[in-house]
Amino acid sequence: MPEEIQAVIAYRRDHPDIGYRKLAWQMVDENVACLSETAVYNVLSEHGMLHGWARANVDPAEKEYRHKPKYPHQHWHTDIAYIKIQGIFYFLIMVLDGYSRMLLGWELMTDMLGSSVEVFIQKVKEKYPHVKPKLIHDNGSQFISLDFVRLVQTLEIQQVRTRRNHPQTNGKIERMNGTTKNEAIRPAAPSSYQEAIEILKNWEFQYNYQRLHAGISYLRPADMFFGRGNQILNERVQKLEIARSNRKQKNREAMVDVQIIH
């Protein structure tokens, strides 16, 4: 319908840097326009508004870890990323739930000592004391030390080491590192360690509870983590069906009006 096309165009102007698929489901969730991904693509294409998406999604695909988790806390992914602030390097460590993509914990460390990593992992596990996840990580010295091995055994965490020189096997956290830098750290350009902490706090909430994630059917990580995913997907299908029905009814009414006039 014309009003739906205008709604898509207006929404696109307010959200120029996200892909059309995410845009489609975001509009459905916010009751802006209930259109399929294909319909949104066609509208944006006809109005020359795909350019932002084309630039924003240039990211080579990586293979999923070969054993896909089937529930929260089955796989935890962790890694250490370098963050440079005013010429000083800090070390961002995160734990990501492999099933829901929920960010379970993070810390911006001033060093990358094994003891700092051990304290961080212990803090995350204390938030979820009854789970027994597999912790997927690379072969960094912090993760293969005897002290770390003893710690995870005590915490009832099973280690899964990725293949050497093959980061794709831990691709979920690798992508998370890149996303955090590209969508949080670099745009905000923090001028101090404390400012970076505040940016990451806000980013954690936005990522977990607001941002649609392409890897989980454009749901939010919290939707998957708390078991709301199927409900939201079903609601989207219902919204699309109602919107199609409404369009058909309006088109029929328009045809009747034309016939009456003639």
Whether residues 171 and 237 fall in one domain? no
Nearest-5° Cα angle at 76, 90 to 108: 15
Whether residues 85 and 206 fall in one domain? yes
Whether residues 139 and 244 fall in one domain? no
> Which residues span the domain enclosing 170?
75-216
Which long-range CB contacts under 8 A does 110-113 form with residues at least 24 apart?
110/193, 112/80, 112/142, 113/142
Q: How confident is the model at residue 168 (pLDDT cuts 50, 70, 90)?
A: low
Whether residues 91 and 186 fall in one domain? yes
- Among 50, 71, 74, 104, CA closest to 229: 71
Whether residues 96 and 197 fall in one domain? yes
Whether residues 173 and 140 fall in one domain? yes
Residue 5 pLDDT exceeds 80: yes
Whether residues 160 and 237 fall in one domain? no
- Identify whether the C-beta of residue 60 lies closer than 8 Å to the C-beta of residue 142: no
CATH number, domain of 129, equals 3.30.420.10
Flag whether the pTM goes above 0.95: no
67 located within any domain: no
Whether residues 88 and 131 fall in one domain? yes
- Give me the chain's average pLDDT, please: 88
Whether residues 79 and 185 fall in one domain? yes
Beta strands in the chain (DSSP E): 75-85, 88-97, 103-109, 134-137, 158-161
- Identify whether the C-beta of residue 98 lies closer than 8 Å to the C-beta of residue 69: yes
For the stretch 100-120, pLDDT in tens is: 999 999 999 999 999 999 999
Residue 256 pLDDT exceeds 80: no
d(CA 89, CA 178): 16
For the stretch 192-230, pLDDT in tens is: 999 999 999 999 999 999 999 999 999 999 999 999 999
85 located within any domain: yes
Whether residues 134 and 206 fall in one domain? yes
More reliable by pLDDT, 181 or 141:
181
- Take residue 177 and report the two structure tokens written for it: 């590192």
If DSSP codes are grouped into helix, strand and coil, which group holds residue 184?
helix
Count the neighbouring beta carbons within 10 Å of the beta carbon of residue 1.
14
Mean pLDDT of all residues in 75-102: 95
246 located within any domain: yes
Half-sphere exposure in the Cβ direction for 226 (13 Å, CA): 10
69 located within any domain: no
Whether residues 10 and 86 fall in one domain? no
Number of domain units in the chain: 2
Whether residues 30 and 86 fall in one domain? no
186 located within any domain: yes
